[in-house]
Amino acid sequence: MSSIPILEARQAQIHQKGTQPFEMDCGKHSLAGSVSQRACVFCGSRVVLYPIADALHLIHGPIGCAAYTWDIRGALSSGPELHRMSFSTDLREKDVIFGGEKKLAAALGELIDQYRPKAAFVYATCIVGIIGDDVAAVCRKVEQEKGIPVLPVHSEGFKGTKKDGYKAACDALFKLVGTGSTADIAPVSINILGEFNIGGEAWIIKKYYEQMGVQVVSIMTGDGRVDQVARSHGAALNVVQCSGALTFLAEMMKAKYGTPYMRVSYFGIDDMAKALYDVAEHFNAAPEVMARTRAIVRREVETIMPELNRIKCDLYGKRAAIYVGGAFKAFSLIKALRYLGMTVVLVGSQTGNESDYATLQDMCDDGTVILDDANPLELSKYIIEKKADLFIGGVKERPIAFKMGIGFCDHNHERKIPLAGFEGMLHFAREVHNSVTSPVWQFAPARAAVLESKKEVAR
């Protein structure tokens, strides 16, 4: 496996720290034939908007686009669960020839009458861009007829990278922002952007902020509601996690409503504490917020520390590989793994930019492989070469880890337990520990040789 060559045109997107000048050729379309791990533009939009639980999500395209993203995040809702349905106009050959606008209008009308959503998002897929349906015009017409916001999402799959899908989702959200009442919004108030409540993380984070005395006006988009998004322009600050996805919206809100924003991460002890302290510092005109924040951080850290210390003993010196969507998440993962005593030997992302990779290069140890827009073969090659014990990624990385016979931790859509917040750090440590120390890997053929060679070194 380690002798597998890298495609010539991919060389500039793979670096090993310390072996050559570092200049990542990122932010471009995936190489044809490379079989990228990236999702399409439409999928990028879908994952951002999906957790808005009282909206209708209608995918205008062939059935495969809807099937591929059905319940893609499994994001939890404390109320309605309309987001978990996958509606499609199911375009067929006849629609491609004669156009799908009538079918779209009929589907929207029927679904709005039946489910009574607060708003509807209509996702344009590849074929819709090709046949030229005027999705925006259909949305405007249905909006007038039904009296709810009907928002086109211009997310034709072929028109860019997953990041363009984030932008299309933010454009749709921005049309909702500013349409609701800002009554009862306190001066010390925030919107949480880029938290998707996959395992209940949004509830943990919201609880911390409320204990600090900070009003949470909206969460975009975890456990999201249309009315909250509509009044989010009344918040005093936007706090942006998963910066690749929601920074577009934060920038637009800053330009139109003057809402400042800050980037945070809720993963790992240091970054979680920093996120709370940064928000408290922003509201330093109310010093009681900082005092409460200190008490919360002390209480939470003291609670998790004894078990974390026990787990660290077993994980010391183990090697980890990371491949995630946004690079910002990788920064926090590196810090959290180091805290657990582990070494990061490979790190990559689907959508990182030049500044993200410069930060990754600064953070990583010499010899760490840093990749942009990788494919399964490259990931497998470096996992073997670097003798990783753990792979952290999402649904598409899981089979790679298991085929290589190493531990896996889902840090993406399919996790069922929250990994954010202080308690999330403990969940993460437990999951990593359980997976890495499982005795099952000794029976995996791909892993047996690596384990044997490590024993040799130890002797």
From the list 44, 61, 149, 199, which residue makes contact with ligand SF4 (rule: CB under 6 A)? 61
Which range touches ligand SF4 (CB under 6 A), out of 40-48, 263-271, 317-325, 392-400? Answer: 40-48
- Which of 26, 56, 58, 65 forms a contact with ligand SF4 (CB under 6 A)? 65
Q: How far apart are CA 137 and CA 219, in angstroms?
A: 29
- Between 65 and 142, whose beta carbon lies closer to ligand SF4? 65
Residues binding ligand SF4: what is the number (CB under 6 A)?
9
- Looking at residue 418, the DSSP 8-state letter turns out to be -
Q: Is 40 near ligand SF4 (CB under 6 A)?
A: yes
In this structure, what token pair is assigned to residue 404?
């290589």
| Secondary structure, 3-state, 295-338 | HHHHHHHHHHHHHHHHHHHHHCCCEEEEEECCHHHHHHHHHHHH
- Verify binding: residue 161, ligand SF4, rule CB under 6 A: no
- Written as one string, the DSSP assignment of 109-175 is HHHHHHH--SEEEEEE-HHHHHHT--HHHHHHHHHHHH-S-EEEE---TTSS-HHHHHHHHHHHHHH
Q: Segment near ligand SF4 (CB under 6 A), from 39-47, 304-312, 322-330, 348-356? A: 39-47
Element (H, E) at 261: strand 261-263
Token duo for residue 228: 């909250």
Contact 60, 130 (CB under 8 A): no
Task: Give the contact letters, 95-134, x = binds to ligand SF4 (CB under 6 A), - = no.
Answer: ------------------------------xx--------
Q: In DSSP terms, which residues pair with 56 in a beta bridge? A: 120
Residues in 357-416 at the binding interface with ligand SF4, rule: CB under 6 A: none
Contact between 421 and ligand SF4 by CB under 6 A: the answer reads: no
- Rounded to 5 degrees, what are φ and ψ at 347? -145, 135
Q: Between the CA of residue 318 and those of 99, 226, 303, 334, what are the distances in Å?
A: 56, 45, 25, 13
- Tell the smallest beta-carbon distance from residue 117 to ligand SF4 (Å): 22
Q: How far is the CB of 39 from ligand SF4 (least distance, A)?
A: 8
Nearer CB in complex with ligand SF4: 65/168: 65
Q: Among 42, 50, 196, 248, which residue sits at the site for ligand SF4 (rule: CB under 6 A)?
A: 42
Quote the least distance from Cβ 47 to ligand SF4, whole Å: 12
> Cβ closer to ligand SF4: 43 or 409?
43
- The residue from 44, 149, 157, 407 that contacts ligand SF4 (CB under 6 A) is 157
Q: For residue 168, state whether it binds ligand SF4 (rule: CB under 6 A).
A: no
Instruction: In angstroms, give the least distance from the CB of 43 to ligand SF4.
Output: 6
Helices 421-436 and 327-339: crossing angle in degrees, nearest 10, is: 70
With contacts defined by CB under 6 A, name the span among 16-24, 36-44, 131-139, 277-285 that binds ligand SF4: 36-44
| Strand order from edge to edge, sheet including 119-124 | 87-88, 55-60, 119-124, 150-153
Q: Please name the residues in contact with 64: beta carbons below 8 A apart, sequence gap of 6 or more.
A: none
If one asks whether residue 24 binds ligand SF4 (CB under 6 A), the answer comes out as no
Cα atoms found within 13 Å of the Cα of residue 71, Cβ hemisphere only: 9
Rounded to a whole number of angstroms, the minimum distance from the CB of residue 128 to ligand SF4 is: 9
Q: How far is the CB of 238 from ligand SF4 (least distance, A)?
A: 29
Shortest distance in whole angstroms from residue 156 CB to ligand SF4 = 7
Distance CA 19, CA 57 (A): 47
DSSP string covering 27-58, please? SSPPPTTS--S---HHHHHHHHHTTBTTEEEE
Position closest to ligand SF4 via CB: 157
Q: How far is the CB of 56 from ligand SF4 (least distance, A)?
A: 19
Compute CA distances 366 → 22, 318, 363, 383, whole Å: 12, 16, 10, 16
Q: Which residue, 95 or 389, is less far from ligand SF4 as judged by CB? A: 95
Q: Considering the complex, what minimum distance in angstroms separates the CB of residue 97 from ligand SF4?
A: 18
Identify whether the C-beta of residue 221 lies closer than 8 Å to the C-beta of residue 48. Answer: yes
Q: In terms of CB distance, is 61 or 224 closer to ligand SF4?
A: 61
Task: Give residues in contact with ligand SF4 (CB under 6 A).
Answer: 40, 42-43, 61, 65, 68, 125-126, 157
